[in-house]
A and B are shown apart, each in its own frame.
Chain A
Amino acid sequence: MTVFILRRVLQAILVLAITSLVVFLGVYAIGDPLEILLPADASMAERAQVTASLHLDDPLALQYWNFIVQALQGNFGRSFVFNRPALEVIFERLPATLELVTTSLILSLIIGIPLGFLAGTRPRTVTDETIMTGSILGFSLPNFWQGMMLIMIFSVWLGWLPSTGRGDTGTILGVRTSYATWDGFVHLLLPATNLALAQIALVIRLTRTGVQETMPLDFVKYARARGISERRILSVHVFKTILIPIVTVLGIEFGSLIAFAVVTETIFAWPGVGKLIIDSINMLDRPIVVAYILVIVSMFIVINLVVDVLYSLLDPRIRSRAS
């Protein structure tokens, strides 16, 4: 197990190094941040001064080298726009996104798994067809359109829920979160639902397929032959078996959701990293873009590691192979 983790850490460092180079070059190629940072009528002297202060006149290789040296010390540079350390700006925004993504993942599990079971245990019935049709809508309707419809229905027509912003946050166990206040919670509902819709559809499909593939297996028949109740067969035997694919897919999805919560955050003006990265790309704020991508890559690596550990907890056969 130790060897396994060590190997993963080495792999992670390599991935991070390569990503940093690719992203650095990519951002360099996008354009000159001076065009955006400076007013159109800036003098040559001002221009030269800003260039020098941001070290934009150094050769590319030297810029990258300086960046790496600084990054290894935990310094990812100062945002051109906010004039604050890039990591600080990102970590200030990250909790809001994590909260949104976690909430929508939990929603997708507590809604998706039961519906998937309902559909999977009653194939080709009205219940099954209804749930599956609903999940097609969840998949295929564009996310931004779903978001606008949610605002239209719940904020504009019914006036039940606020449509934008994060609302009040409070502190639970040292973490600032929307769950601490009612206002924060109601602000969270619409964006979390919006982000969850496609996930719910995905979980429903995974669960339904899993149930349908598991039910004809011999161990289910054997459990019946032992007189085990149908309820226990579903909630223990089948459930534990289908959790493995669900954990895999949700692990991948968790990373993507953080990285691509952009649309939802934009529609609901949610102050998370997704919105930050879009703004930063528009402003060519290099340090933020590079640091953001490295943070996201690190997260993917951590999530994958967690998924692998979860696997071995769920499937004893993997555990004994690893040891």
Chain B
Amino acid sequence: MSEHLLEVRGLRTWFETPKGTVKAVDGVDLTLNRGEILGLVGESGSGKSITGFSLLGLVDPPGKVVEGDIRFQGEDLRAASARRQRALRGNRIAMIFQDPMMTLNPVLRIGTQMIETVQAHEKVSKSEARRRARDALGMVGIPHPEERIDAYPHEFSGGMRQRVAIAIALLHKPDLIIADEPTTALDVTIQSQILSEVQSLTRDLGMGLIWISHDLGVVGQLANKVAVMYAGRIVERGAVDDVLDRPRHPYTRGLLDSLPMENDRGQPLRQIPGNAPPPLNRPEGCPFRPRCARASEACLAEPAETGTAARAWRCFHPLEQTGVFA
């Protein structure tokens, strides 16, 4: 039996608040193999970041993974001890956050934060840890790593800081990287540089990468597979070209339509009508129903996933298989 790098089944992460239960992640399935890049796409509040934190066991209270199975190289992560989880974090599973200005500690040198990351997982001398940190900085294209390693986070530009974050993620040559909107704060030229570097690193090192983003354009450029999240669920998933060219779920179609395109220059951008449902008061049945032009009586029930292991959607009225651009 072939073992996946990461296999998530029925993940539910809920937040108990005084006003009720927020079901941030409500039954998510993911599969990822080595060398694959999975784009996890959705609007703000769709639960995509919480999904990433859930995989690492880093959901802050009152949030809690209440149900589901997370298997990393066959190991049940939910059953793992806190000690074992810490040993995996930053070592076998690394995470890159959205804004490295906020995530690197401003009062500690880059080198200090890299060395502590090395030494958290391996018994190596400080000079050896420093050498590895310096090499990692060089690998992600930071000029003069020997000098820059002693700089503080605020002495780097946004793009350079994000490279530092990627260098830190690569320190232990992890099997899986979870990147949460890592290029959102960057300008477009820097973004595409970083994207192509990440792509080649993933391929060369044989890692798995989960790229969390709200930007279908970036995901289309980078990923092999895509999963579209809406209101805590994955509503459509499949190979990236297939999903982007032939979306079956009306929500995916809406997302694609709202991307600015060359040929509708000057036209108002199309948007999905309405807003994402409030997390405490989701509509019954299909959560996209109130915003969907195709909704019917049937949508009052919850749509199950239809399709195959490689390509699936949750919709009673899927779009026909015609291309978006046809």
State the CA gap A320–B113 with chains docked (Å).
19
B154 and A227 contacting across the interface, CB-CB below 8 Å: no
A222 and B60 contacting across the interface, CB-CB below 8 Å: no
The A interface, classified by DSSP as helix, strand, loop or mixed, is helix
B289 within 8 A of A: no
- Shortest distance between the CB of B208 and any CB in chain A (Å): 16
Closest B residue to A228 by beta carbon equals: B120
A223 and B89 contacting across the interface, CB-CB below 8 Å: no
The tally of residues in A whose CB lies under 8 Å from a CB in B reads 23
State the CA gap A224–B58 with chains docked (Å).
8
State the CA gap A194–B152 with chains docked (Å).
42
Contact of A218 among B56, B88, B102, B168 (CB under 8 A): B102
Once A229-B120, A240-B107, A317-B152 are accepted as A-B contacts, the answer to whether A219 and B86 lie under 8 Å apart by CB is no
Contact of A229 among B58, B60, B86 (CB under 8 A): B86
State the CA gap A273–B154 with chains docked (Å).
46
B107 and A241 contacting across the interface, CB-CB below 8 Å: yes
B117 within 8 A of A: yes
A316 and B106 contacting across the interface, CB-CB below 8 Å: yes
B95 within 8 A of A: yes
A236 within 8 A of B: yes
Once A219-B102, A232-B116, A320-B155 are accepted as A-B contacts, the answer to whether A226 and B107 lie under 8 Å apart by CB is no
A227 and B152 contacting across the interface, CB-CB below 8 Å: no
Q: How large is the interface on B (under 10, 10 to 19, 20 to 34, 35 or more residues)?
A: 20 to 34
A227 and B104 contacting across the interface, CB-CB below 8 Å: no
Cβ of B109: which chain A residues have Cβ within 8 Å of it? 316
- Shortest distance between the CB of A231 and any CB in chain B (Å): 11
Q: Quick one: which of A289-323 are within 8 Å of B by CB?
A: 314-317, 320
- Shortest distance between the CB of B185 and any CB in chain A (Å): 12
Q: Quick one: which of A220-253 are within 8 Å of B by CB?
A: 221-229, 232, 236-237, 240-241
A216 within 8 A of B: yes
Cβ of A316: which chain B residues have Cβ within 8 Å of it? 106-107, 109, 152, 154
A61 within 8 A of B: no
A30 within 8 A of B: no
Cβ of A217: which chain B residues have Cβ within 8 Å of it? 102
- Shortest distance between the CB of A217 and any CB in chain B (Å): 7
Contact of A222 among B104, B107, B155 (CB under 8 A): B104
A240 and B120 contacting across the interface, CB-CB below 8 Å: no
Q: Quick one: which of B99-131 are within 8 Å of A by CB?
A: 99, 102-109, 113, 116-117, 120-121
B90 within 8 A of A: yes
B72 within 8 A of A: no
Contact of B56 among A225, A237, A240 (CB under 8 A): A225
B99 and A225 contacting across the interface, CB-CB below 8 Å: no
B91 within 8 A of A: yes
Cβ of B58: which chain A residues have Cβ within 8 Å of it? 221, 224-225
Closest B residue to A220 by beta carbon equals: B105
B230 within 8 A of A: no
B313 within 8 A of A: no
B97 within 8 A of A: yes
Once A219-B102, A219-B103, A316-B107 are accepted as A-B contacts, the answer to whether A226 and B117 lie under 8 Å apart by CB is yes
B105 and A219 contacting across the interface, CB-CB below 8 Å: yes
Q: Which of A216, A221, A222, A224 has the most CB of B within 10 A?
A: A222
A317 and B86 contacting across the interface, CB-CB below 8 Å: no
Once A232-B116, A237-B105 are accepted as A-B contacts, the answer to whether A227 and B99 lie under 8 Å apart by CB is no
B87 within 8 A of A: yes
Cβ of B108: which chain A residues have Cβ within 8 Å of it? 236-237, 240
Q: Quick one: which of B47-101 are within 8 Å of A by CB?
A: 56, 58, 60, 86-91, 94-95, 97, 99
State the CA gap A237–B116 with chains docked (Å).
11
State the CA gap A100–B89 with chains docked (Å).
48
Cβ of B121: which chain A residues have Cβ within 8 Å of it? 227
Fill in one digit per residue for B186-212: 1 if any A CB lies within 8 Å of its CB, else 0. Answer: 000000000000000000000000000
Contact of A227 among B91, B97, B105, B113 (CB under 8 A): B91
Fill in one digit per residue for A201-218: 1 if any B CB lies within 8 Å of its CB, else 0. Answer: 000000000000000111
- Shortest distance between the CB of B323 and any CB in chain A (Å): 39
A227 and B107 contacting across the interface, CB-CB below 8 Å: no
Residues of A bordering B, CB below 8 Å:
216-219, 221-229, 232, 236-237, 240-241, 314-317, 320
A sample of 16 inter-chain contacts (CB < 8 A) reads A217-B102, A218-B99, A221-B60, A222-B104, A224-B58, A225-B58, A225-B90, A226-B117, A227-B87, A227-B91, A227-B120, A237-B105, A240-B107, A317-B106, A320-B152, A320-B154
Given contacts A222-B103, A228-B116, 16 further A-B pairs with CB under 8 A are: A218-B97, A219-B105, A219-B106, A221-B60, A222-B97, A222-B104, A223-B105, A224-B86, A224-B89, A227-B90, A229-B120, A237-B105, A316-B107, A317-B152, A317-B154, A320-B155
